[in-house]
Amino acid sequence: MSLTFPQTRPNNYCLIFLLVLCLASVIAALGIGRYGLSSAEVLRILWEGLAHKEGDPVLHQIVFNVRLPRILTCAAAGTVLGMCGCALQTIFRNPLVSPNVLGISSGASFGGTLAIFCDLSTWALYSSAIFFGLLTLTLVYFFSRKFREGLLMLILGGMVLNGFFTALVGLLQYLSDSEEKLPAIVFWLMGSFSSATMPKFFLFAIPVIVCGVLMIGLRWRLNLLSLDEKNALSLGVRVHPLRWVFIVCCGVLISSQVAVSGNIGWVGLVVPHIGRSVAGEDTQVLLPACGLIGAIFLIGADTLARSISQAEIPISILTSLVGAPLFVLILLRFRKRRLNA
């Protein structure tokens, strides 16, 4: 992956444009559904709710209690996937890396599946998914410490744990009741925001804000992590602790995202490539840009998932249908650029 070092003035116009586009996506999504609303009506309802003015109680219920929690959770999940994809691709110096490279998604998926299999509550499902996601991250850490082979052992450890937890998920599906538990497990694993509520969103927002702020604050150092380790050390950067700060943040964020919405594929792989074509290689701009693009991408996918048919479509189906062809186009563009170079 090529590297462009931070400039004295990052291109903030790109971020401003993406932020405006993200807010516009939220407003548009709030108006789309079985009960359609114009953007002006959405803004009026939001203003009435925030100003504690009396308005139509039905419209207030639709916007604030049904759609807003779902769209905010969706935007936060997209931000998590976009930023984690960007950070991990930079750390591993591989543009084909996605957020599930360390097996954290599989561990969190097993935790959620186990909670459904045992008929535990929604909050227990959330806690179980985060616990097993962080357990996977801990095991990857000790695996890499044992063999001391750097990034290679991280990837291999992630592959081993990914296969292990995927097998456990398959075992629980095999043992599940085919009438109730199995459909619930399959639907949850395919990803959905249908159960989003404001309490869940606020709980999800805690790790997003804490880890997101830390990653944004250190984003300029990601440029150095994309260098060879010897070159980074020669510049006075302690590579190992810095790498693990980002990996731990990504682990917490990915586990939390899987807990609230299930496993959502392709977003963390495709969004960083879109971000590079829009914002360039400098991670000062690229990391927040990927977060905003991820939010826009997932809001659009979720809006389609809940509006194009009577029954809601699991969101991973749409992200795969859109992400796979989009990734092929990105690869073709990259190939054309290399041939013309």
Cα dihedral 151, 153, 157, 158, rounded to 10, equals: 20
How many separate domains does the chain show? 1
Establish if 5 belongs to a structural domain.
no
Sorting pLDDT into bands at 50, 70 and 90, what band is 341? low
Percentage of residues of the chain with pLDDT beyond 90: 51
Inside any domain, residue 159: yes
Q: State residue 148's pLDDT score.
A: 66
Least confident segment among 7-21, 82-96, 196-210, 215-229:
7-21
Q: In whole angstroms, what is the distance from residue 74 CA to residue 64 CA?
A: 15
Q: Is residue 151 part of a domain?
A: yes
Query: pLDDT tens across 193-207, in order?
Result: 988 999 999 999 999
Of 88, 79, 86, 85, the closest CA to residue 296 belongs to: 79
The reply to whether 266 falls in a domain is: yes
Which phi and psi (to 5°) does residue 238 adopt? -80, 95
Distance of CA 172 to the CA centre of its chain: 25
Does a structural domain hold residue 139?
A: yes
- Is residue 98 situated within a structural domain? yes
Long-range contacts of 2-6 (CB under 8 A, 24+ apart): 2/281, 3/223, 3/226, 3/227, 3/281, 4/223, 4/280, 4/281, 4/282, 5/223, 5/282, 6/220, 6/223, 6/282, 6/283, 6/284
In a domain, 50, yes or no: yes
Domain enclosing residue 106, as ranges: 12-340
Residue 223 contacts residue 282 (beta carbons within 8 Å):
yes
Question: What is the mean pLDDT of the segment spanning 30-59?
Answer: 88
Compute the mean pLDDT over every residue in the chain, rounded to the nearest whole number: 87
CATH code of the domain covering residue 234: 1.10.3470.10
pLDDT in tens, 111-170: 999 999 999 888 899 999 999 999 999 998 888 777 765 677 888 888 899 999 999 999
- Does any domain span residue 268? yes
Q: What is the band of 179 on the pLDDT scale with cuts at 50, 70, 90?
A: confident
Decide if pLDDT at 1 tops 50. no
